[in-house]
Amino acid sequence: MFRRIQAVDDKVVDNIIKYRSPLKNRIMIAASTAGNGGMIWFAICMPFLIYAPWRVTGVNIIFALAFTQTICELILKHIVRRERPVWKLADEEQLVHRPKYYSFPSGHTSASFCVVAVALFRCQPITILIVLVCAVMIATSRVYLRVHYLSDVLVGMVLGLLCGAASVSMFNHFAQAFI
């Protein structure tokens, strides 16, 4: 089964070059960069933290990001230790610098989709839509830029959604303990 997944992943990485263009390259680099360090999510979180009625959502997003990144970046990546597709590319084939850490699962994607999960539980539809569009762009950019395999991103999506939903439940439980 793992060989079949890797075969599909390799085919996607090999064929992604067919869809590149200078405009798409700029868009995807910008989307990926927005996800670096979760910066877009912290920026989106700021109005929630400032406006008192939304503060619980803002704090929950930060909690979800910390929880998700602990599982993804500190635990799973170091257990799986999957090499990135970009590590196999020649320098002239790369659009971004080679990340130095492992590929599986996608940290950008898991962070993005944990925020989607929190938004699904705590936000209005327009906010959910904005967060979802940003998350999909970031996830897509990671495959497009060949810093992740498709399966890294798909697992990152599922992991992010699960961690985000779990964080809402944990956050609600902890909040009630202090009320």
**Using CA atoms, how far apart are residues 165 and 61, in angstroms rounded to an integer?**
11
pLDDT digit string, tens, across residues 48-107: 889 888 888 999 999 999 999 999 988 988 898 888 887 676 666 676 666 778 878 999
pLDDT digit string, tens, across residues 112-166: 999 999 999 999 999 999 999 999 999 999 999 988 999 999 999 999 999 999 9
Per DSSP, the chain holds a count of helices (H) and strands (E) of 8, 0
pLDDT score for 172:
83
Q: What is the pTM of this model?
A: 0.88
Instruction: Write the DSSP symbol of residue 170.
Output: H
Note whether 53 and 75 are within 8 A (CB). no
Instruction: Write the DSSP symbol of residue 83.
Output: P
